[in-house]
Amino acid sequence: MKHGATPDQVDGVVSAIESMGYRARPMPGAQRTTVGLVGNDGRVEEGHLIGLDGVLRVIHVSQPYKQVSREWCSEGTVVDLPNGVQIGGEDVVIMAGPCAVESREQILETACRVAAAGATVLRGGAFKPRTSPYSFQGMGQEGLQLLAEARDETGLAIVTEALDPEGAVLVAKYADIIQIGARNMQNYSLLRAVGRAGKPVLLKRGMAATLKELLLAAEYIVAEGESRVILCERGVRNFDNHARNLFDLTAVVTVKEVSHLPIIADPSHGTGARSKVGPMARASVAAGADGLLLEVHPDPSTAVSDGQQSLNLDQFDKLMGELDMIAGAIGRRIARTAIAPQT
Ligand code: PEP
Ligand code: MN
């Protein structure tokens, strides 16, 4: 719409789109309102729309992922968390914690230390997608309760994984961000369920997924009505064996070009080895990632999962100091919580 288009003019465009048999999504922006059109399967005849009062121009979205494309919305999406932290803005958001919640002591100690070092989101799986059915599957709801307790103690927001549609409803009751893991990136019934769960979603790239497939998976969530989607590069299958995965930092840059969604990086799963996590975390911030997801454990040698790629608390402390400097060098800073923790 033209700058200063009136609400009546926007309504006129919405009615015109609906009378053509499509759905309209008005999106007020800082400069002007955009009205999105969904429900078409092919090019839309623009003649009915171009001459309406207040219309500036009609843009045809060329990508199959539509609502998550930059063509749909040129301004970047910013996801607000309850602790005042924003993902997708100027700040780089650090999410840290163990692969899995293992005990009250383990998660509270980790939460206190990563918060003191400057993390603003606590990670930790309560439902774990394990390659073997005989491996530890997570603490379940008790793990979610421990994460909520850690949030109350520290002011950290919580990100934790949901494995199935029923689990998504339960996770949404406790978490501030619902994580969809690599193994479930193309689980379309789960994507639809999290799109209706009412919480922001962290969507990890599948182990062999193209960026187009990642963005189409995000489109499933947005199409259900949840626009707060954060993408995550966590490495893809590799033909070499020098690292667990091939950590694809060009994904961060490319996603920023073609999508308005924030993208963070997970160098823990991306590399699979503690010695490689720090360097690739620094590189991710330098490349423009909106945040990092890092596995941190008080005693990695005893971790029930992913100990080999977990930093200990001192290593995390040191890394945070380095990340501060790298963020500063590119005109960003590491996010801080705006809300003091409850005591
Ligand atoms: C995790 O974050 O612990 C995890 C299981 O990651 P991914 O889905 O990327 O393998
Ligand atoms: Mn893990």
Ligand 1 lined by 205 (C-beta under 6 Å): no
pLDDT of 62: 86
And the tokens for 50?
Answer: 């171009």
Q: Per CATH, which fold does 79-334 belong to?
A: TIM Barrel (3.20.20)
For residue 14, the CA-to-ligand 2 centroid distance in Å is 45
Of all helices (H) and strands (E), which one includes residue 62?
Answer: none
Distance CA 89, CA 110 (A): 26
Distance CA 113, CA 108 (A): 9
* Mean pLDDT for back-to-back runs of 10 residues, the chain (343 residues): 96 97 92 92 91 95 94 94 98 98 98 98 97 95 98 98 97 98 98 98 98 98 97 97 97 98 98 98 98 98 98 98 98 84 52
For residue 306, the CA-to-ligand 1 centroid distance in Å is 9
Ligand 1 lined by 269 (C-beta under 6 Å): yes
Taking the CA of 233 as reference, the closest ligand is 1
Whether residue 268 contacts residue 293, with contact meaning beta carbons closer than 8 Å, is answered with yes
Distance CA 294, CA 51 (A): 51
For residue 124, the CA-to-ligand 1 centroid distance in Å is 10
**Domain ranges within the chain, ordered by starting residue:** 7-50, 79-334
Taking the CA of 183 as reference, the closest ligand is 1
Ligand 1 lined by 234 (C-beta under 6 Å): yes
List residues bridging with 121 in a β-sheet.
95, 157
- Which residue puts its alpha carbon closest to atom 3 of ligand 1? 99
Ligand 1 lined by 204 (C-beta under 6 Å): yes
pLDDT of 341: 54
Distance CA 63, CA 244 (A): 32
pLDDT of 338: 66
Taking the CA of 305 as reference, the closest ligand is 2
- Which residue puts its alpha carbon closest to atom 8 of ligand 1? 181
Helix (H, G, I), strand (E, B) or coil at 200: coil
- Which residue puts its alpha carbon closest to atom 9 of ligand 1? 182
